Amino acid sequence: MSRILITGGSGFIGTNFIEKLLQEGHELCNVDVRAPALAHHRPAWRQVDILDKPALVDAVERFQPEWVYHLAARTDMHGATVSDYRANTDGVSHLLAALPASDALQRVVFASSRLVCRIGYQPRSDTDYLPTTPYGESKVIGEKLVRGHRHGAYEWLMVRPTSIWGPWFHVPYRNFFDAIRRGHYIHPRGQRILKSFGFVGNSIHQLSRLMQAPASAVHEKMFYLADHEPIEVRQWGELIRREFAAPPIRDVPMGVMQGLAKVGDGLSALGWKNVPLTSFRLDNLTTEMLHDTDNLHAVCGDLPYTAEQGVPITVAWMKQASS
């Protein structure tokens, strides 16, 4: 048993992770401005906004965690400027200021994002950044705050979640499942697209192993959080389609998809949110996204779930959530 504090524990990854940690018998504190999705998570919840620095310091001081997972963030793409993402910048700064309040602290995992670089770009080092969105820029600032901070005696590491999917997920990745379920998903004809995605059951396994690993393997290091084997998008879509017993996936010429994306761009400019297809989303879909997870594999070992196992778990949750 360990004393574990999680910021953002009411979110997608946090909900899955807290469920696992409760089953393992750990003592938990979920620091989040939102209430948990599950009623039995409420005893561990403390309503705190990470932008409220005194309240965050008080939460850390009272709980005295041994381990901290910083998952809290604003993750949507609707912000116009970096200042719209203060949770990802000032929130990190406030947590760094709060950590010395725990005399028991041993290790901290800071969650960043793969979008500190544009999709398809292979950074030359952990500090080679190329963001293309205000969200990505905010995550770069957060990483720099962590790297530049004068840390105490505790160990720290960083993870960059790629595209994580599974129970309790939200847009945009749930949109992919929903589009296939309704028979709306179209795939660019003849394109084989590989992506370093992660099933959330594997992600929480990896987060747990990273906290338990020897310091020499993780301290001051960065890990891309993804399954070790990339997903081929068309094959993944077919797994989802079969599980839903949904209509066949249609393969459409790339030129047609580009035209539809332009229409989506116009709708987005008019204020529509979550437009099914825009040029940005089409580029995200068709650009290979592969990340080196060898260091993660070395620390975490083999994963508990394959995509073939993760899809039925996710579809079952979606059916239950919509019933």
Q: What is the DSSP string of 71-125?
A: ------S--SSGGGGHHHHHHHHHHHHHGGG-TT--EEEEE--GGGB-TT---SS
Q: Distance between CA atoms of 71 and 132, rounded to whole angstroms? A: 22
Q: Distance between CA atoms of 71 and 215, rounded to whole angstroms? A: 21
pLDDT at position 213 is 97
Consecutive H or E run containing 244: helix 233-244
CA angle (83, 280, 313) in 5-degree steps? 95
CB environment 108-135: b (16+ within 10 A), e (fewer):
bbbbbbbbbbbbeeeeeeeeebebebbb
Q: Distance between CA atoms of 320 and 312, rounded to whole angstroms? A: 12
pLDDT at position 71 is 98
pLDDT at position 57 is 98
Q: Which residues have CB under 8 Å from 178's CB, separation 6+?
A: none
pTM of whole model > 0.85?
A: yes
Calculate the alpha carbon distances from 28 to 93, 139, 323 in Å: 22, 26, 30
pLDDT at position 120 is 86
Give the distance from CA 88 to its chain's centroid.
13
3-class DSSP string for 215-227: HHHHCCCEEEECC
pLDDT at position 274 is 74
pLDDT at position 216 is 97
Question: pLDDT digit of tens for each residue in the chain (323 aa)?
Answer: 899 999 999 999 999 999 999 999 999 999 999 999 999 999 999 999 999 999 999 999 999 999 999 999 999 988 999 999 999 999 999 999 999 999 999 999 999 999 999 988 999 999 999 999 999 999 999 999 999 999 999 999 999 999 999 999 987 789 899 999 999 999 999 999 999 999 999 999 999 999 999 999 999 999 999 999 999 999 999 999 999 999 999 999 999 999 999 999 999 888 887 777 888 888 888 889 999 999 999 999 999 999 999 999 999 999 999 87
pLDDT at position 171 is 79
Q: What are phi and psi of 317, to 5 degrees?
A: -65, -40
pLDDT at position 280 is 82
Burial label, 239 (beta-carbon count in 10 A; 0-12, 13-18, 19+): middle
223, 160 Cβ separation under 8 angstroms: yes
